[in-house]
Structure 1
Amino acid sequence: MRPQTTYPALLALLGLAAAEDKAATTPTTTATACTASSTSGAFYDLRPDMAVKAPKDGSKPAHNAPTVDYRARGHDYGSDFTLNICGPVVEPVDGEVHDLKEELWRNISAYYVSKGDVYSLGMQSGELITRGKELVLQYTGGSLCGKKHKSKSDRRSDGERLTSRGAVHEGAAYKDYEDDEGGSSAGNSTAVDALKKHDDDDDDVRRKSATIFFSCDKDPVATAASVAFIATDPDECNYVFKVKSQHACAGAEPHKPGSVGPGPVFLIILVIAVLVYLLGGIFYNRTVSNARGWKQLPNYSLWAGVWSFMTDLFFIALSSCARFLPSRRGYHYLAGSPSGRTRSSRDRDAENRLIDQLDEEWDD
């Protein structure tokens, strides 16, 4: 019966260990927005690159942050891009944004204007992600994209291509290979319609997004981040940008309130080592050597000699400093000074006169 009662306990211990292992391996995200820490210990803080509204009093914003949005040229894409880093765009969007409710316009972090139409590339996000040596920021939830949601110009060009294709194949005859079976033409059209329907079902609702890669800018002259447009996918759903910034260089993570830094950790280890040394030495000398009083301390003779040497140095230094203190006996004349020689000659003359006077009185 004992093995049967042991199995539930073992299963419970295994479940507890698995839960602890899962909790230990679960990735944790950085609490502070627009910051990230890599597994190698590198710390990134892009908050100084986030554009903010200029203070109304005319003062400079914190960390000398920019007050205007970033611009990126589209080059062959045909439209330029406006975006911000880790925050919504500072300047309000001019115009109606496609496929977004008006209350969401204030959270747009990237957009572009094409032929008067405004397209959002994603909403505000401050979640930086480190993948190896790459630092990535992604905006999602922009305007609709995909085959179902093409721009007006794309739809117009598609219509022209279909019209030209119909003119080319107009009057062409197609052989029905299954005419003898009956209803083959209807079956063929049904299969084509089913295939189109399948393609339409696979084309789920998709929205534009922006992926921003950050690189370290080691140029000391560069004071602000620079944004460049890289590419987009054929469906114009994901747009890729590259940002060069001095704040994208890896640095040391600042000390957080409530956390223990390297200095306190070293001090704690030192205190523990000293306590172990003292308590272990006292216990040994008291129990093995039967020492009492100060002799219980470990290496008592060594520390006593050190203390004696320090006290001797102290008294020597004290006596040396006492020589430079001013004397309390008042002013006195130096032996080599002119005033000193004059006074000594005057004293000798007075003594001679006194001696002569005493001699005369003695003779009388």
Structure 2
Amino acid sequence: MKSSILYSLFFLQYVAAASDKPLKPCTIISPTNRFFDLNPIRRMPLKDGEKKAKGDSDGSWHAKGYDYGANFTLNFCGPVVEELHDVQDLDKNLWRNVSAFYEDGKKVYAIGLENTEPVFRGRKLILNYTGGSLCPSPKSKRDAPTILPREIIPSDPDDEDDKPSKKKPSGDKDKDKEDKTARRKTTVISLLCDSEPLAKTSVSFVAAVDSCTYFFEGRSPYACGGVHSAQQALSPGGVFGVIALIAILVYLAGGCVYQRTVMHQRGWRQLPNYAMWAGIWRFGADMFIILTSSCARFMPSRRGYSRVSLGHENGRRGRRNEDENRLIDNLDEEWDD
């Protein structure tokens, strides 16, 4: 009984260790234990000499901007396929990591860099890109209201010292400047499940907040989730085999202990149900002997050797008869003399 418990604990620890393996990039397990893999909807550039598959679109995913005045290009869990140049407010070594961008005239604005870790906000599957081009300052917005400074009229000349200064300290200016430079364009993609039989992946633009944060909605069959195949280290047949092996070990161990301690058996007789297994072994041995002996008669080599041996024996018998006759004749002649 104790051995069965130990084997069961070992099996559970093995399965738990297999389930703790790190996930691949662009995969996630939901709070409801469903597995999501977004790698199939990631567009990859064609290799040298590789032809485009039938039904595949050129380049990355595209979303129409409608009233925003620009169309968007993005990819899932990876940089865009297109080769970018002169991306605004980004170092040249980061151009190849841009996962979403749009063009305004001849200028290219990045709205997020590559990210391979989707997250869950409740039950919403979210893919977030950060670190794009700089967000525009509030002064450059068309709808930003212009607020004039209010003039303070002192009621007493002695209160002039209490008049607040309109000039800001240099430290505050530097701080405001840092805050403006720290704000960069970001992208938020909300992925929804599309379980239609002929459904295809699509991306649509939802809104832009302050020309700094862009919201998209993606629909795809790959956003429906499934069973994590890597979590199950053994197949159903393997699980059944492990259970059967544990049962056999428990049967042998328990039977040997019982036969040795209670029945005081020694040697092979310690095995549980020794008489039954011995009878099965003898039956199998007898059947093997019967089959091999019956098949041996049909072997040509055995038949040939038997013929040679029979012929040799007949020759020896003939020579014996001649010798006997010759001896009898000699005895008859001596008797006559």
The TM-score by the shorter chain falls in which range?
0.5 to 0.7
CA deviations 1:94-116 (Å, max 9, x no partner) are: x6322112232121110112344
Give the match's secondary structure for 1:54: coil
Aligned to 1:130: 120
Distance, in Å, in 1 between the alignment partners of 2:238 and 2:112 is 44
Equivalent residues in 2 for 1:1-364, closer than 5 Å? 30-60=22-52, 66-93=57-84, 96-145=86-135, 147=137, 154=141, 162=146, 176-184=153-161, 187-190=163-166, 193=168, 197=173, 200=176, 203-204=179-180, 205-222=182-199, 224-233=200-209, 235-255=210-230, 259-261=233-235, 263-292=237-266, 295-300=269-274, 307=280
Q: 1:262 to 1:38 in 2, by over 3 A?
A: farther
CA deviations 1:102-135 (Å, max 9, x no partner) are: 2321211101123443211111121222344322
Determine if contact 1:53/1:67 at 8 Å carries over to the other structure: no
Give 2:51's aligned amino acid: S
Distance, in Å, in 1 between the alignment partners of 2:261 and 2:21 is 54
Distance, in Å, in 1 between the alignment partners of 2:260 and 2:55 is 65
Deviation of 1:261 (Å): 4.9
Using the size of structure 2 for normalisation, the TM-score is 0.65
Using the size of structure 1 for normalisation, the TM-score is 0.60
Give the match's secondary structure for 1:135: strand
Give the match's secondary structure for 2:99: strand
Distance, in Å, in 1 between the alignment partners of 2:236 and 2:154 is 83
Give the match's secondary structure for 1:137: strand
Deviation of 1:84 (Å): 0.9
Among all aligned residue pairs of Structure 1 and Structure 2, give the percentage whose two residues are the same amino acid: 40
Deviation of 1:304 (Å): 7.3
Q: 1:196 to 1:256 in 2, by over 3 A?
A: closer
CA RMSD after TM alignment: 4.0
Q: 1:179 to 1:261 in 2, by over 3 A?
A: farther
Deviation of 1:264 (Å): 3.3
CA deviations 1:316-346 (Å, max 9, x no partner) are: xx9xxxxxxxxxxxxxxxxxxxxxxxxxxxx
Give the match's secondary structure for 2:245: helix
Structure 1: where are the runs of 5+ without partners?
A: 1-27, 319-364
Deviation of 1:285 (Å): 1.1
Distance, in Å, in 1 between the alignment partners of 2:22 and 2:107 is 36
Deviation of 1:60 (Å): 4.3
Distance, in Å, in 1 between the alignment partners of 2:28 and 2:179 is 35
Determine if contact 2:64/2:71 at 8 Å carries over to the other structure: yes
Determine if contact 1:46/1:247 at 8 Å carries over to the other structure: yes
Distance, in Å, in 2 between the alignment partners of 1:272 and 1:243 is 48
Determine if contact 1:176/1:184 at 8 Å carries over to the other structure: no
Distance, in Å, in 2 between the alignment partners of 1:40 and 1:276 is 37
Higher relative contact order (CA 8 A, sep 6+): 2
Give the match's secondary structure for 2:246: helix
Deviation of 1:188 (Å): 2.4
Give the match's secondary structure for 1:218: coil
Give 2:29's aligned amino acid: S
Q: 1:82 to 1:268 in 2, by over 3 A?
A: same
Determine if contact 1:226/1:245 at 8 Å carries over to the other structure: yes
Structure 2: where are the runs of 5+ without partners?
A: 1-19, 292-337
Aligned to 1:330: none
Distance, in Å, in 1 between the alignment partners of 2:226 and 2:203 is 21
Distance, in Å, in 1 between the alignment partners of 2:39 and 2:22 is 14
Give the match's secondary structure for 2:218: strand
Q: 1:214 to 1:303 in 2, by over 3 A?
A: farther
